[in-house]
Amino acid sequence: MVTILADRNIPWLELLPKQDVTLIPFETTDELTQFLPKADALLVRTVHKIKPEHVSSLPKKLHFVGSATAGTDHVDVEWLRKNDVAFAHSPGCNARAVAEYVATTIFAAFNGNIDELKSKKAGIVGFGNTGKQLAGILELMGIPFIANDPPLEEKSSFRGCTFEEILQCDIISFHVPLTKTGKWPTNKMMGKKHLDNCNAEVIINASRSGVIDEDTLARRASTNGKIAVTDVWKNEPTTHPLLLNKSLFATPHIAGYSQQAKFKATEMVVNDLCSFFGMTKPEAMEPSISSIINASDGLLLVIKQIHPLFKLSEKLKANPASFADLRNKHPLRNEYRNYVLENLPKKDRIAARALGFEVV
């Protein structure tokens, strides 16, 4: 029998094989600390930091840590390795969801005017799973883009642009991990000097908060009318007051929160856990609920109705203290491929199909 301590807010924990597992759900850091000595395995999200400065020690009983997330900067993977604790996460699980969030904010920032968008150039910083998904959407929309990813250039045939070229784009979106060491650190890669020399109309951060200087971005958005879209925050669940107020859309770190992304994240890490402990892997189907929508009033109205970012932004701005509740308790959205649009105006059909909708 394997004892698993798991964040109760990880969806689809029922994928765990019940006959082989004792499940201890937790929510707070105090609960994590209290129950960790009993656990053979620990399952977390980004809200819990698994690092020496946050977890006093790793119990000898603990052999596996899994994060139902694409990112890993909340976990000290090398520390786990030195303590003979295996680690698994879910790379790429939410790439489509984040790309849809970013493309949705771009479309909305320009009031759904696809002709205007085609005259803009987008810069994608980070060309991994999410950056490629976003590029695919932009390409189908007819929006020109360039991409910057020096680490990818070093290990593949990818050839991107310089960061200086990114700064000349009309729209910039970040899709990088947060790293503070190495040849290409991303911590404050968009600092004051970059923001002061950047003419972008829209800057979107749905990756990690530390990659952009929040103070400078907030001042920039408040003084010259440039648009910020902010989903990640340096001191979550506390937000930056000025940036919160001046961002066109300000959301509680939910860009990757779709039913399909969360299912895939849990499925991937549970499969790794089962392999590690020699348990039978689960068999389950990804959630898929097809809905037909009368879209005669246009694509912009449709996405404002079905994507929660618009209402969540309003609620977070009205009550910043609601960050954790908005993030953890708001129903997960469906990705656009689960919707069929009827009677959509012809002018919106290219953009709708690019976002993933079925159009009839």
pLDDT digits (tens, 9 = 90+) for 229-272: 999 999 999 999 999 999 999 999 999 999 999 999 999 999 99
Tell me which residue has tokens 């066109």.
Answer: 248
pLDDT category at 309 given cuts 50, 70, 90 is very high
Q: How high is the pLDDT of residue 258?
A: 96
Q: Do the domains 95-250 and 2-89+258-277 match in fold?
A: yes
Task: Note the pLDDT of residue 168.
Answer: 97
Does 283 have pLDDT greater than 90?
A: no
Mean pLDDT, to the nearest integer, of 156-161?
96
Distances from the Cα of 347 to the Cαs of 61, 208, 297, 359, in angstroms? 60, 34, 12, 12
Q: Is the pLDDT of residue 285 over 80?
A: no
| Cα 107–chain centre separation | 18
In angstroms, rounded to a whole number, what is the distance separating the alpha carbons of residues 73 and 324?
A: 19
pLDDT at 289 over 80: no
**Domain 95-250 belongs to what architecture?**
3-Layer(aba) Sandwich (3.40)
Residue 110 confidence (pLDDT) above 90 = yes
- Any catalytic annotation for residue 208? yes
pTM value is 0.92
Quick one: pLDDT at residue 249?
98
307 is catalytic: no
Q: Quick one: average pLDDT of 342-352?
A: 98
65 in helix, strand or coil? strand
DSSP code per residue over 208-239: -GGGB-HHHHHHHHHHS--EEEE---TBTTB-
pLDDT of residue 18: 84
Is 156 buried (19+), middle (13-18) or exposed (0-12) by CB count in 10 A?
A: exposed
- Quick: pLDDT tens for 178-237: 999 899 999 999 999 999 999 899 999 999 999 999 999 999 999 888 999 999 999 999
Q: Which of 63, 74, 96, 253 is catalytic?
A: 253
Hey, what are 311's tokens?
């209402």
Work out the burial of residue 246: count CB atoms within 10 Å of its CB; fewer than 13 is exposed, 13-18 middle, 19 or more buried: buried
Whether the upstream peptide bond of residue 237 has omega within 30° of 0, thus cis, is: yes
H or E segment at 173?
A: strand 171-174
Q: Which residues contact 51 (CB under 8 A, 6 or more apart)?
A: 74, 75, 76, 79
Res. 137: pLDDT tops 80 = yes
Mean pLDDT of 343-358: 98
Catalytic residue among 201, 236, 330, 353: 236
74 close to 46: Cβ distance less than 8 angstroms: yes
What per-residue confidence (pLDDT) applies to 187?
Answer: 94
In tens, the pLDDT along 28-77 reads 999 999 999 999 999 999 999 999 999 989 999 999 999 999 989 899 99
pLDDT(82) > 80 = yes
Give dist(CA 103, CA 353) in Å, integer: 12
Q: Is the pLDDT of residue 273 over 80?
A: yes
Overall average pLDDT of the 123-149 stretch:
98
pLDDT of residue 56: 85
Q: Can you tell me whether residue 151 is helix, strand or coil? A: helix
Mean pLDDT, the chain, rounded, equals 95
pLDDT reported for residue 287: 78
CATH architecture of the domain with residue range 2-89+258-277: 3-Layer(aba) Sandwich (3.40)
Q: How far is residue 84's CA from residue 185's CA, in Å, rounded to a whole number?
A: 27
pLDDT at 19: 83
Instruction: For the chain, give the percent of residues with pLDDT over 90.
Output: 91
Q: Is the per-residue pLDDT at 282 higher than 90?
A: no
The catalytic residue among 74, 208, 327, 333 is: 208
Give me 147's structure tokens: 């991409």
Query: So where are the chain's domains?
Result: 2-89+258-277, 95-250, 291-359
